[in-house]
């Protein structure tokens, strides 16, 4: 059994021609506890944390089979409300699918700040998996906008989700997809190029390439510009879409 990382996702190769994919994320100081910095209902915390890990898996064409939700707070009522947020997300973007939910809570000590760690696990046949196929002359597009903190709720219509990524993967001419987190667009975009020894040239744009995208409110994708139709992508996704660069 061998393990390899594809960006933020750990991939375990099994002997029976299967791969196990593991994505994780954490959240701290976001909730309604005394010392939370960003005051939002715990349901929102759960909803947007599971967005990160499902988008990570879906960017690799993997559906989650198991969500593990470890809440560093009591079950009643912080964890219950976080679970409600997770279930709302799964009902919206995975209706009718059987996704197991497991986790743990802190029942021995009183906590004063909301904190949690979340993991999504999925699997895929080895021959069905592809990533890092970007080539010279492929363009880079941005889907959604980088939002963080209270911007996430203020600009909710801009945010991507698991459904956005699933649709994006089906569009002809789309190659690699990468959700953006706290390290910003430039970090992830350069990593794509570095893997293939390509240089990235940005077009003139007004996007903050270094801003945190919080709970993966946007993603980048590389596209074959001779095949992919930007107008069609915008129509299918109903999210902001902009071409921001090219690999050379």
5 has pLDDT over 80: no
> Do 123 and 148 fall into the same domain?
no
CA gyration radius, the chain: 18
pTM for this entry: 0.94
Mean of pLDDT values over 98-115:
97
In this prediction, residue 58 carries a pLDDT of 96
pLDDT in tens, 13-69: 888 788 899 999 999 999 999 999 999 999 999 999 999 999 999 999 999 999 999
Give Cα 102 to chain centroid, integer Å.
Answer: 20
For residue 195, name the pLDDT band (cuts at 50, 70, 90): confident
How many residues are present in the chain? 248
Is the Cα torsion angle 222, 226, 229, 230 positive or negative in sign?
Answer: positive
- Is the Cβ–Cβ distance between 167 and 105 less than 8 Å? no
Question: Per the structure, how many domains does the chain have?
Answer: 2
What's the CATH code of the domain at 151?
3.30.70
> Do 147 and 83 fall into the same domain?
no
Give the residue numbers spanning the domain of 190. Answer: 139-247
Mean of pLDDT values over 100-127:
94
Cα 239 to Cα 235: distance, rounded to the nearest angstrom: 8
User: Which of helix, strand or coil describes residue 100?
Assistant: strand
> Do 91 and 123 fall into the same domain?
yes
Cα 116 to Cα 105: distance, rounded to the nearest angstrom: 9
Which of the listed residues 85, 109, 128 is the one where a domain comes to its end?
A: 128
For residue 56, being part of any structural domain is answered with yes
> Do 164 and 194 fall into the same domain?
yes
Tokens of 38: 């960003």
């Amino acid at each position: 059994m061998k393990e390899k990382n594809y960006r933020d996702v750990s991939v375990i190769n099994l002997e029976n021609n299967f791969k196990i994919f593991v994505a994780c994320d954490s959240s701290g100081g976001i909730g309604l506890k005394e010392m939370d910095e960003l005051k939002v209902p715990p349901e929102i915390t759960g909803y947007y944390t599971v967005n990160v890990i499902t988008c990570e898996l879906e960017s690799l064409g993997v559906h989650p089979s198991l969500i593990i939700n470890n809440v560093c707070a009591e079950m009643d009522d912080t964890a219950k409300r976080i679970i409600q947020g997770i279930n709302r997300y799964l009902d919206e973007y995975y209706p009718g699918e059987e996704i197991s939910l497991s986790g743990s809570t802190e029942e021995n000590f009183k906590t004063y700040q909301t904190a949690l760690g979340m993991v999504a696990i999925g699997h895929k046949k080895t021959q069905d998996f592809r990533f890092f196929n970007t080539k010279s002359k492929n363009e880079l597009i941005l889907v959604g906008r980088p939002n963080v903190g209270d911007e996430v709720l203020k600009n909710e219509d801009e945010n991507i989700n698991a459904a956005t990524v699933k649709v994006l993967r089906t569009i002809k001419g789309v190659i690699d997809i990468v959700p953006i987190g706290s390290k910003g667009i430039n970090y992830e975009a350069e990593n794509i190029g570095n893997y293939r020894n390509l240089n990235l040239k940005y077009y003139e744009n007004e996007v903050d390439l270094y801003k945190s995208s919080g709970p993966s409110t946007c993603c980048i994708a590389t596209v074959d510009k001779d095949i992919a139709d930007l107008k069609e992508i915008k129509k299918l996704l109903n999210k902001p879409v902009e071409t921001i660069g090219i690999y050379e």
